[in-house]
A and B are shown apart, each in its own frame.
Chain A
Amino acid sequence: MSDNTSGCSGNCVPGMKKDMLVPQLAVVTDIRTDTPDVKTFRVKSLDGQPLFDHMPGQCAMLTLPGSGEAMFSITSSPTHKDYKEFSIKRCGMLTEALHAMEPGQEIGIRGPYGKPFPVDTEFRGKKLLFIAGGIGLAPLHSVIDYVRANRDAYGHMDILYGSRSAADLVDLEQIQTEWMNEKDTDVYLTIDRPQEGWDGHVGFVPSYLKELAFKPDCTAIICGPPIMIKFVLQALIEMGFDKKQVYTTLELKMKCGIGKCGRCNIGSKFVCKDGPVFRCDEIDELPGEY
């Protein structure tokens, strides 16, 4: 866990280690509108020093006092040390307020939390198949950019990404200009229903996945709404994948992020510290409460 002494102001005793629940001060420097309900926020420390180190798949708690605090995936790659990015879907009180922010707004941040994807171990040297739905691209974004930054350490990369409509595809511009031109990488996009101006694939992610008939010789990484994850996993099994080859992230209500508030457990595991990344065979050992 990172040293949590910086960003101190007010009654801070010098040299005293802050409690893990006390955030550090940060500033939102850029806001990008991705879709009608998703914006991506770039967050930096006030003094230009890195906020903290993270690995792909880890999350952080963002707070806008007066509106609350919630957990968000860090979508930027750890290779970008001077900022963290978060893609946030507007769906409630806090996210509404975050969407209303302007650049320059100071916020609180604490983290990183959770177990990352095994990008430097199990994933290394493997072919990778990313399957994302909607805002589920957020946690995978960091992994994909990490792989791109270390391209030769990994095998071929397939990215299958779907959303309700073309407008709902998060970060379409980067996908088209960067990911589609990345070496040894294929990107497949799909939207739920036909729409004018879209000449790409139409259909749900799980059925497109079956059409594409990937060989089970790669590691699959899934993220999206629970129902999508369920059907994608089923499809992968039918295609001959073993659950040990498939990784996903789980989302439960979180408050502390450090395994103490007792809110995010599934059986004996806490999603905030033992997850949010799980290998699908590990999930089978948990009670079905997620």
Chain B
Amino acid sequence: MSLKKIALTELDRFFSAIALKKKIYLPVEKAGQYDYAPWEPGITYHPEVLHTVKSAKSVFFPQSEDLVRYKRSGLSLAIAEVPPEDEEFVVFGVHACDVKGFEVLDRVFLSDPVDTFYKARREHGTVVSVMCPQPEETCFCETFGIDAENPGADVQARICEGTLYMEALTGKGEALLEELGGIVAEADQNGEAAGEGKDAEAYAKGAEEHKKIMDKLPLAGLTTEGFGAEADLLTLFNRPEWKELSSSCLGCGTCTYVCPTCQCYDIREYNTGKDIRRFRVWDSCMYSDFTMMAHGSPRPDQLQRFRQRFMHKLKYYPDNYEGAFSCVGCGRCLQKCPVSMNIVKVMKTLGGAAHE
């Protein structure tokens, strides 16, 4: 392991150095809310912020993007393609849950037939993860086997005692840290002369302390028992509790828009006057028109739509992707649902074991 470091007070230099060559996305404050946006001089990174409103998925799977452009005149039609991403960029500050969220989307969009728009962004993006600050009571990433202290990605970072420590985990990550050679310093590690391994010690200690907080979280014992590929689909689907669980749902779709793993999209058209753009936008299975057809909808009530969202995350997705769940325990839906209905309540009600 080769550990690099930079003082938090020097982060602006770090971001400017990257920004000279490529775009760097990170959580940016706008009107008191954080979301991923390109860094510009004057933007400060707030390491104490746990969650952006929307997850980091918006960098690879934007809320709206053009797929193809058409021009029609008389009987003829011209199809112009929208070129996929071709510039390198960096995403900085992604916490463990959102990093795992990328993997959930990868299984869908990178499996055959590949989504070339998503793939191009994944290939051109280098992800720098950061161990999250103080997790909150809504966090339950460990339920899905996520290691919050080691978030993974191309470069994995931890902030300990005012210093950002980074280790490259992939070739892309190494290349990035190499480019920043003049900005980031070698951290001293055990056995090396200067500093007698103080940095390595701080790095390890940071993780230990973080883990202690994780273990005390109220949702720490939550398990996926009763869900996943082994669970019986029809039994779960037919549980009478869905009725009560869904009864307060407003169908607002907030839970799907803030979720790092929700992947459903709509394809729509917009006539600009000059051409017709076919674009893709995030969509929500919580909406009544999501499955509406000429002869009606197979999910006419909110009960069915609510059930779809959670069955997808806890049963259908695992069935299709070797047992992996389509939830990373980020807790955003717990925080944002206006009627406090969420996946944890579903898991506690329908799951194998009751949790306190």
Contacts and interface: CB of A to CB of B under 8 A. Distances in A.
Given A19-B67, A21-B68, 9 more contacts: A21-B67, A21-B267, A66-B269, A68-B269, A106-B76, A108-B79, A252-B298, A253-B292, A285-B233
Interface stretch (A3-11, A121-129, A173-181, A234-242): A3-11
Nearest to A20: B113
Nearest to B256: A262
Contacts of B184: none
A255 interface: yes
A262 B83 contact: no
9 contacts: A18-B81, A22-B67, A25-B77, A65-B70, A91-B294, A252-B293, A256-B267, A261-B283, A263-B290
Interface stretch (B202-210, B258-266, B343-351): B258-266
A46 to B, nearest CB: 10
B19 interface: no
A92 interface: yes
Contacts of B108: 259-260
A259 B115 CA distance: 11
A108 B70 contact: yes
A261 B281 CA distance: 10
Interface size, B (range): 35 or more
B78 interface: yes
Interface string B264-302: 111101010000101010010100001111110111000
Contact of A253 (B69, B113, B291): B291
B265 A10 contact: no
Contacts of A282: none
Contacts of B295: 225-226
A107 interface: yes
A102 B75 contact: yes
B269 A65 contact: yes
Interface stretch (B44-52, B185-193, B244-252, B313-321): B313-321
A56 interface: no
B80 interface: yes
Given A9-B79, A290-B298, A255 B315 contact: no
B31 interface: no
Contacts, number: 138
Interface of A is mostly: loop
Interface of A: 1, 7-13, 17-25, 63, 65-66, 68-69, 91-92, 102, 104-108, 225-226, 251-253, 255-256, 258-268, 285, 287, 289-290
A9 B233 contact: no
Nearest to B275: A65
B290 A11 contact: no
Contacts of A8: 79, 81
Nearest to A13: B83
B117 interface: yes
Contacts of A108: 70, 77, 79
A92 B296 CA distance: 13
Interface string B106-119: 00110011111100
A289 B298 contact: yes
Nearest to A273: B113
A261 B298 contact: no
A12 B84 CA distance: 11
Q: A24, A25, A66, A287: which has the most chain B beta carbons within 10 Å?
A: A287
B121 to A, nearest CB: 13
B27 to A, nearest CB: 27
B85 to A, nearest CB: 12
A285 B237 CA distance: 12
Contact of A69 (B72, B267, B315, B320): B267
